[in-house]
Copies of this chain bind each other. A is one copy, B any other.
Amino acid sequence: MAGHDTQDRPMRRDAVRNQQLVIEAAREVVSEYGTEASMELIASRAGVGVGTVYRRFPNKDALVEEIVDLMVCELVDEARKALTLGDGTGLEVFLRAMGESMSTHRGYAVKAVGHSKATRVEELRDLITELLVQAQDKGRIGPSIVLGDVMAAAWALRGIIETAGPIAPEAWQRHLDIQFAGLRAPDVPSAHAPATREQLTQISGGAGRTSCGRGA
């Protein structure tokens, strides 16, 4: 993805730099205005022409998928890091990191959390499952909680962040405090079914491969 195109010949140096500028501009602009921000705006933010954007990305969807993928990769990193805590607080730490990330990338958080076809969501799901198991082992999360509940909490955060956004920037944190009080309870009687694994897969894909580009 970085430095080489489809062929063996390395990309020209200016092309590499421009591609980076485009990706950064897209993150900024789409975070702020959502995926409906125009390609023109993204290009001008990057200081290049639209043609340059289309040289690296076949269309807008591909560009958006690229930045969604970056975001999910960062979340995967956070999840891995949280897992090493080992004391059962990892799940909470991760969810807070996810909230921060969704706040920063508000305009397209929906793509990462929801209907994204991005590769790698499955990897993230597995990591979250591990975090959940760890938290339950340490008694920090009730035994009746399942992955679907944690995902629902994440979707909930998006709803709050999208709505309250920068106006009440702590609202999602507080919601999470209260939610965790419920999640900790040894048994929450519920007549309602959480999302199953199959449903989670349906909601946010789980097909592709490739690994997150390591590094900063």
Contacts and interface: CB of A to CB of B under 8 A. Distances in A.
The interface residues of chain A, by DSSP majority, are classed as: helix
A157 B193 CA distance: 15
A168 interface: yes
Contact of A164 (B152, B175, B188): B152
Nearest to A202: B167
Interface in A30-83: none
B171 A163 contact: no
A21 interface: no
Interface in A142-161: 145, 148-149, 152-153, 155-160
Interface of A: 110, 113-115, 145, 148-149, 152-153, 155-160, 162-164, 167-168, 170-175, 177-183, 185, 188-196, 199-200, 202-203
A163 B157 CA distance: 11
Contact of A180 (B115, B175, B182): B182
Given A181-B182, A182-B181, A199-B168, A174 B160 contact: no
A195 B188 CA distance: 27
Contacts of A157: 156, 159
A32 to B, nearest CB: 15
17 contacts: A110-B162, A148-B171, A152-B172, A152-B174, A155-B160, A158-B163, A159-B162, A163-B203, A164-B199, A168-B199, A168-B203, A170-B194, A171-B192, A173-B190, A173-B191, A178-B190, A179-B182
Given A179-B178, A180-B182, A182-B179, A164 B171 contact: no
Contacts of A180: 182
Given A152-B160, A158-B159, A177 B167 contact: no
A35 B185 CA distance: 40
A128 to B, nearest CB: 15
B163 A192 contact: no
A65 B175 CA distance: 29
A67 to B, nearest CB: 19
Given A164-B203, A182-B185, 16 more contacts: A110-B163, A148-B171, A149-B174, A152-B160, A152-B164, A152-B172, A155-B162, A155-B163, A156-B175, A167-B202, A168-B194, A168-B196, A171-B195, A177-B192, A179-B179, A181-B188
